[in-house]
Amino acid sequence: MTGPASPPPDDPSDPLLALDRRHGLPEALRVLAEAFPRADWEAHANFGELVRFWMDRHLMFRRILAALHDDALALEAGQLDPQRHGARLVRYGGLLVNELHHHHQIEDHHYFPQLVGLVPEIDRAFDLLETDHEAIDPMLHDLAGQMNAVLREGGPVGALDEALMRFERLLDRHLTDEEEIVVPVILKSGFVG
């Protein structure tokens, strides 16, 4: 007697591919990442303004999270005034939540639908990225709640910083995987938007 069939190794519904469980793209979705190594991207003829802009957005999200972490440490060490911390938390926290949400909407509704089919052997990768976006949305909501608790009620900045660091690890996993899917598709296909 056999048990239920195992999902294919690149099935986005596989719990092992959940954002909080995976350690990279499954081998079946790494075909283009291996054909187009990251170190060679910028030298490729199809590495144009769209890719550069999109990668800059990812870098911005990473830098915002680093700044929020640095601010939390500085506040806890008495090196940052609480009012200054609050102003920076409003600015950078709001920027992170709003821009990341907007970024994912543009990807899901504009870019991903145009990229699907350009390299059919990895089309399932876009389902994985959309599943990541669905997982990230409630995390952003929770982070916004924790930021508001610090701002309104003087909640513990240490707890917020721990949440930011957990989120940063997951977001970096998502951004790295997304880059290893989208950039090679653009490089191979010559997609310009």
Give the number of domains in the chain: 1
Percentage of residues of the chain with pLDDT beyond 70: 93
pLDDT of 3 > 50? The answer is no
Tokens standing for residue 162? 């721990």
Structural domain includes residue 108: yes
Q: In whole numbers, what is the pLDDT of the chain averaged over residues?
A: 92
For the entire predicted model, the pTM comes to: 0.90
Per-residue model confidence as pLDDT tens digits over 75-97: 999 999 999 999 999 999 999 99
Give the mean model confidence (pLDDT) for residues 2-14. 54
Structural domain includes residue 90: yes
Which domain, by its residues, includes 51? Answer: 47-189
Domain at 150, CATH number? 1.20.120.520
Burial class of 132 by CB neighbour count within 10 A (0 to 12, 13 to 18, 19+): buried
Cβ–Cβ < 8 Å for 12, 128: yes
